[in-house]
A and B are shown apart, each in its own frame.
Chain A
Amino acid sequence: MNSRRDPVAHAVLLIGAFMFIAPMWLLFAGSTQDSASIARGDLSFLPGHEGFGAYARALSGPVPRMLLISFGMALAIAVGKIIISVLSAFAVAFFRFPGRQVAFWLIFITLMLPVEVRIIPTYSVMAGLGLINTFTGLWLPLIASATATLLFRQVFVAIPDELVEAARMDGAGPLRFLWDIVLPVSGANIAALFVILFIYGWNQYLWPLLVATNPRLDTIVIGIVKLIAVETETDWSAVMATAMLALLPPVVVVVLMQRWFVAGLTEGEK
């Protein structure tokens, strides 16, 4: 194996890490600077003298509500997707029933039609169902999930036949088996998927832009893009403070649950 002293590797990795940390640090530094000097083009890597005033300004506006909407949306999408896909993966893995092939095809269709390719028709369907500008509209249509279903199916298929046999001998029905055996056994996969889906939900942009034109339903990501689109008299440090608040929750989730989430991500694709 290579020796632990490997200056080239350290140099490359430090430059790589810097590429990602630097903009994030700049965002933090900017959030503590004076908006007028940022607007003059004097944004600096050194934190300013304004302290956390910009955070107070940001939080006194609609930002807390936006954070709440983002949090609710991300949570509903993650939990909803997990429930829906556990149920259908369980059905596909442990039963043979009429329509099983159809179920498979439906899963593939979901995979093939992301929101981006069906912008207009989806909007009209949402309007027909009265889901435009509702909180339900933000999350419900996003919880059908092909990748989650395929991942769970793969996990469930790997559960030893002996366990199923034993459960049947004990007289446990399928739902009892799902609750007592299948769910506990897949705990790590559920946790990993939760991280991935929470971030997916938190980071949505096009979907909320389409279905929620009412500013009261703006997510934090939508809110920031609106803020930076106003080119004149932008309160830059407040924008940066808001951006920090939008970035922190998903970053904290990824860093804290890194191991689970990396395993879940790479296993899902194998």
Chain B
Amino acid sequence: MERRTLFGQRLLPMALVVPQFLLTLIFFLWPACEAVWSSLTRQDPFGLHSQFAGFDNFVELFTDPLYVDSIGRTAFFMAAVSALSMSLALLLAVFADRDIRGRMTYRTLLIWPYAIAPAMAAVLWILLLQPRIGIIGVWLNRRGIAWDYHLNDAQAMLVIVLACAWKQVSYNFIFFLAGLQSVPRAVLEAARMDGARGWHRFRTITFPLLAPTTFFLLVVNLVYAAFDTFGTIQALTQGGPGKATETLVVKVYRDGIVNLDIGSSSAQSVVLMLGVIALTALQFRFLGRRRTT
């Protein structure tokens, strides 16, 4: 949409975008270019000289079984977190949309967790699942079930999936509820008159009408699971045991900041950038389509 009436000045609007322009240039474009540049160069072990290396860093990256494993692990993690978090949120939203007593209270009770930081979600899950102090973790161990996500790979993955999905439920709930509220009542009434009930009505009428919301949330959840879960994972497992919960972002952090392998971590950064750009493009294509409907 464009407006017809505009102000005539030219210098003023340019001055107004200068702050945003400078910030983007200094803190976004410059680092991004530097990442691309260092991903194409190789440094000597002392970091004194660097020379152009073409795509060597990338070839090395994609032939490194550790990196390929991390891609697979991240993909699984993203899918599990998104599926769990979205299906739970949809279930809750469907019931919170019903005309029941106390529904505003229920909504508040399901929306407040939006405020919880990813790293704080980890703290809350430690109270539940940590093997020596967590209330469920201790209970399992006292019953002879060997529960320790610091030692067991599958348990570690389970814990970060649960904590990360749990943290995202309220966000998804807010959007699903808004989506459900915008489903025209007349359509539902008509379906009811035709005898469509419960599950059948949801599957054939409500769910298809929610498709735009669902797709939007799917992209948001994939991005969340890939990038915003760093705090949760770092606080719960630091990517361990071994590399069992080392997602791509955790790996960039470990390789770059902890192990100071600049070439490889820059190449990893570039791969991640391409991933985000693809997801964002997907989202905008979809948003464009949604605007016309």
| Chain A residues engaging chain B, CB cutoff 8 angstroms | 1-2, 4-6, 8-10, 12-13, 16-17, 19-21, 23-24, 26-27, 30, 38-39, 41, 43-45, 83-85, 87-88, 90-100, 103, 106-114, 116-125, 129, 140-141, 143-144, 149, 157, 161, 164-165, 168, 174-175, 177, 199, 202-206, 210, 221-222, 224-225, 228-229, 236, 239-240, 243, 246-247, 250-251, 253-255, 258, 262, 265-266, 269-270
Contact = CB atoms under 8 A, between A and B. Distances in A.
A21 B21 CA distance: 43
Given A93-B3, A119-B253, 17 more contacts: A5-B100, A16-B91, A20-B110, A27-B124, A87-B17, A91-B12, A99-B14, A106-B25, A119-B265, A120-B269, A161-B5, A174-B9, A205-B231, A224-B119, A224-B123, A246-B120, A251-B115
A19 B23 CA distance: 41
Sort A-B residue pairs by CB-CB distance and give the 5 closest, nearest first. A203-B117, A205-B231, A95-B13, A91-B13, A121-B31
Contacts of A118: 28, 31-32, 35, 269, 273
B190 to A, nearest CB: 14
Nearest to B271: A117
Interface stretch (B48-56, B66-74, B127-135, B203-211): B127-135
Nearest to B31: A121
Contacts of A125: 26-27, 30-31, 34
A94 B3 contact: yes
B99 A20 contact: no
A113 B28 contact: yes
A117 B31 CA distance: 10
A202 B117 contact: yes
A124 B30 CA distance: 10
Given A112-B277, A120-B35, A221-B120, A23 B125 contact: yes
A174 B12 contact: yes
Q: Most chain-A Cβ atoms within 10 A of its Cβ — which of B17, B126, B265?
A: B17
Chain A interface mostly helix, strand, loop or mixed?
helix
14 contacts: A4-B100, A12-B92, A88-B16, A88-B19, A110-B28, A111-B280, A113-B28, A121-B32, A121-B269, A122-B27, A124-B34, A125-B34, A199-B115, A221-B231
Contacts of B257: 119-120, 123, 210
B108 interface: yes
Nearest to B150: A231
A9 B98 contact: yes
B3 A157 contact: yes
Contacts of B34: 121, 124-125
Contacts of A121: 30-32, 34-35, 38, 266, 269
A71 to B, nearest CB: 14
